[in-house]
Amino acid sequence: VGTIYNLARFFGINNRRINDLSLEILEDRHFWKILGYWIAEGSLTYGTLRENRSVIRFTFGSHETDYINEVKDFFNKYNIHVGEDYTIRNSCTLKLSSSQLASWLKFNFSEGSGNFTLPDWFFGLPEDLFFEFLAGYFNGDGNCRSNGDFVITSISKSLLLGIQLNLLRFGIISSVNNNSTGGIKLANFGFGSTYINSKDSYILKINGNQNNDSKFAYIKDNKLYVKIKTIEEGYYDGDVYDITTPSNTFCACGYIVHNS
């Protein structure tokens, strides 16, 4: 566990220049749930060379008082003031200023919901902390269907693929598929309609009954077997490499494959 915390501390944090955040915050189990809230509902304005002030935002519905109070109470515990802005569209934006935390968030998770991803060291995060993160993220972007399936929707495919691979560490199978196609669409905001340029969205689904998930994949002897749905020919113009390993098995694009 200590190694993971050290990686999280030193990736993107300059302790010699910025000292506005206690590193003990990363050892607080509740922090990882708050991180999940931010990935689902957050954004940041990163400080420039002229101004070192960085603002971290969480945007919730005004009715989501439990989440609002949870974020406020957490940061107040570390003497970080959290401001509140309520809008006429029934939303509440929480704002806090921490250059060090903003730097860490930007370096490890990128910025902008379409670009969010999980850093490599997340694959070593202990199980309890990963599921704290997932609980916070699910509260923001997830829901449970009537058939027991858990689904999470995002415009960041790379983020969902990262969560999918992490779930496999704990023997949980999920699927990631295209949910909607972006483009110019007519949106109704309640006070009128306008055209917006929307992005593609993706959905991660966790089957509520993993024992019956063998239609497309199953786990046996600590290995994941995925059914091939279709095989299509495609055009490729580039170099081709023959990879040989002692076991003839290697990782490619997130899959463990066998050279046969």
The angle subtended at Cα 156 by Cα 151 and Cα 161, nearest 5°, is 65
Mean pLDDT (the chain) is: 78
Please tell me the predicted confidence (pLDDT) of residue 31: 94
Q: Where are the alpha helices (DSSP H) in 117-156?
A: 127-141
- Side chain identity, residue 255: Y
> Are the C-beta atoms of 67 and 139 separated by less than 8 Å?
yes
- Kindly give, in sequence order, each residue whose CB lies less than 8 Å from that of residue 68, ignoring residues fewer than 6 positions away: 60, 84, 92, 94
State whether residue 160 is helix, strand or coil. helix
pLDDT in tens, 168-186: 888 888 888 888 654 455 5
pLDDT, mean of residues 8-14 = 54
CA trace torsion 118, 119, 120, 121 (10° rounding)? -110
Residue 225 dihedral angles phi and psi, to the nearest 5°: -110, 125
> Are the C-beta atoms of 207 and 173 separated by less than 8 Å?
yes
Alpha carbon 253 to chain centroid distance?
A: 19
What is the helix (H) or strand (E) element at residue 51, kind and residue range?
none
pLDDT, mean of residues 101-128 = 82
Please tell me the predicted confidence (pLDDT) of residue 5: 54
pLDDT in tens, 123-167: 888 899 999 999 999 999 888 887 778 899 998 888 999 999 899
Poorest-pLDDT segment among 34-43, 95-104, 140-149, 247-256: 247-256
What is the helix (H) or strand (E) element at residue 104, kind and residue range?
helix 99-109
